[in-house]
Structures are given as C-alpha cells and as structure tokens.
Chain A
Amino acid sequence: QKEVEQNSGPLSVPEGAIASLNCTYSDRGSQSFFWYRQYSGKSPELIMFIYSNGDKEDGRFTAQLNKASQYVSLLIRDSQPSDSATYLCAVNLSSAGNKLTFGGGTRVLVKP
C-alpha cells in the first residue's frame, strides 16, 4: 500500500458542478494534511490545509478529514475551467519522521 494514495483520474466534471477528490493515508498517527494544486508545467501551490477532524471551508473549497478512517477529501464547488489542474494530497506522515509525503495526484478536468 502506498503511504498516501489518490485516484489518478482524470476526474471530468461539468462547469458549475462539484468535484470530489479523495486521499487515503497509511499512518493513523499523522496530524497535518494539505491539498496542493499544480497546473501543467508549473509548481505546486497550497490551496488548503486541515489538522482536525471535520470540515474546513475556504471559498469554493472544502477539506474534510476523518482520522479514524484515514482519509482526507477535497470538494470544489461551482467548478470552473480554471480549476482544471492536478490536485496533490500531502501528509506529514509520523511513520516517516513527519516528512511531508505527497500522493500521486488527481487530474481534474472541468468542461465548459
């Protein structure tokens, strides 16, 4: 099992719909979770972080964390073509000395 796992996609959603991305991680003791967005040919940029169980909202983005089930998700509401990118889940894995470990990313395509 990969330490941080994501569906590679592509996840195709129509403009205005909700995009739902999931990420599972291997270490139950992990405490910090991040979502980065990466446009093609560009570097990753942070869009959300979450430390506590439950939901965290920031604009059109909502991060959801469930430590008992070891998953973190990202919802993108009212998806726009500009949201088309690869979304990387990252976790400070306690089993790896708290290094920030990235999943393989989910490619999202928002169609007008």
Chain B
Amino acid sequence: DAGVIQSPRHEVTEMGQEVTLRCKPISGHDYLFWYRQTMMRGLELLIYFNNNVPIDDSGMPEDRFSAKMPNASFSTLKIQPSEPRDSAVYFCASTRGLYEKLFFGSGTQLSVL
C-alpha cells in the first residue's frame, strides 16, 4: 500500500489567496483526520471524518477553513482567504478505528506571505 498521500508537499501563497490541500487515505480505512502542526500550538486536530461524514469539526479555527470528503478515497482542506497565521504543516491521517494506530501522510508545508 502506498500509505496516506498528500499533495502538494509545499505550498507558498500570498495572503488572501485560496489554498486547497488534498489527501488520499489508505484503502479500507474508515477514519480520516486533518491535523495542523506549529511550533507554538503543536499538533492540533482540525476535523475528522468517519465513512466520509464529518464527525467533529470543532477544531476548525474559523469559517475560512472548510473540509470535504466526497468519497472514501479523497478529501480536501480549503482555506479561503488565507492569512499569514495559517502558515503551518498540515497533516492528513487515516485509520481503521478511532482507537487504532494513525497513519500519517507526509504533510503539506504551507507558507502564506
């Protein structure tokens, strides 16, 4: 299995632009998570899906952030408009069960100038 695949690996954009991050989970995994990691705040859960349905989005910082999972093999995290404080590494992770091992993608390093 190729593991969790994220794209792009790096994204540099200007403030106000729309940013879309993409994730392909491991086949057969029913849960998908979006995390954000910064030096100041560590690894924060933004949102997670179970069987393509958003279960908890309480970690999404504000309305500028949205996430979708149109099918079992694809999810997006969108930021519109982006701001410099959104600069972070965004990880997607998947797992078979809520209490099981998380498999992380390689992450997207986002820089908003």
Contacts and interface: CB of A to CB of B under 8 A. Distances in A.
Interface stretch (A12-20, A61-69, A75-83, A95-103): A95-103
Contacts of B98: 92, 98, 100
A45 B107 CA distance: 13
Interface string A74-112: 000000000000001010100001111111110000000
Interface string B92-106: 000000110110111
B99 A44 contact: no
Interface residues of B, number: 17
Interface in A36-61: 36, 42-46, 49
B99 A43 contact: no
A49 B101 contact: yes
A43 B104 contact: yes
Most chain A CB within 10 A, of B91, B98, B102, is at B102
B106 A43 contact: yes
A46 B56 contact: no
Given A43-B91, A43-B105, A44-B104, A98 B99 contact: yes
Contact of B42 (A42, A43, A46, A104): A104
Contact of B99 (A92, A97, A104): A92
A26 interface: no
Contacts of B42: 102-105
Interface of A: 31-32, 34, 36, 42-46, 49, 88, 90, 92, 97-105
